[in-house]
Structure 1
């Protein structure tokens, strides 16, 4: 059985590094450790603080987007993943998570586009393949029915 990493020591280690150098990019690792522990508010706060100093740090934006997604702030998460893709258009994780965000908002067609784009970049990405396969298929509209004749007798 695989042993679960000790997140509290991971948090302490990253927090000590960040305290020593508040301008460090280690904020993303610290925030991700908090996210994995379910401490989403703390993860979001740390990311937002760190991104003030490092607004183009892709890893920090991905962690912020993930924490927002897990918190249910879908529109904010979507905005972060779109920013990541502006900075790094081939970021597979951002594409997959943007697909997840779209799917959770009921936009399966848009989710499909994000997943397909990710699979063009990495056709062997099993997680994305599974998410794409799990999307509802687009329903084709039924042909318009002919109006039924009511069977009325013509008036005399």
Structure 2
């Protein structure tokens, strides 16, 4: 562990609480502190362990996404950010990080293919907000562009089964 963390009373309080109760949600701030000191692998391990007990904890998913961004593992970061945005579509930090990740993962301008704004994430957001018609339209637009997109196929099928 980084020596400065051992002198940080707030970190130590969280860390001791986590040692006493490994199912506690304090894993998220612990991971944030570890990242501050460049301990990215440790932060990821802490998040993955904590998310086993709290899979829908937004702060935990966001801490994990931040660690992946800092490690430049943008695919994993994108997946975590999608999960956060499904749980909290207006989460500002997640939206900001998603824009950064999308920029990193986008092809160079010479090879960039024009695509619509329609994404599976957008369809899920519409559906979670009760805008089923808009979600259906987004899934259909995705499938026109990418007929084999399994997430869009499953999402549309799920909407159709709901009515």
**TM-score bucket of the superposed structures, by smaller chain:** 0.5 to 0.7
Give the Cα–Cα distance (whole angstroms) in 2 for the partners of residues 39 and 59 of structure 1: 18
> 1:1-156 maps to which residues of 2 (within 5 A)?
7-8=5-6, 9=8, 10-106=10-106
Give the Cα–Cα distance (whole angstroms) in 1 for the partners of residues 105 and 23 of structure 2: 35
Give the Cα–Cα distance (whole angstroms) in 2 for the partners of residues 29 and 58 of structure 1: 12
Structure with the bigger percentage of helix? 2
- Give TM-score, length-normalised by structure 1: 0.63
Aligned residues: 108
Give the Cα–Cα distance (whole angstroms) in 2 for the partners of residues 46 and 11 of structure 1: 14
Runs of 4+ in structure 1 over 6 Å off: none
Structure 1 runs not aligned, ≥5 long = 1-5, 114-156
- Equivalent residues of 1:11, 1:34 under 8 A apart: no
Task: Please give the root-mean-square deviation of Cα atoms over the aligned residues, in Å.
Answer: 2.4
Q: Secondary structure at the match of 1:72?
A: coil
Structure 2 runs not aligned, ≥5 long = 119-163
Offset of 1:106 from its aligned partner? Answer: 2.8
- Give TM-score, length-normalised by structure 2: 0.61
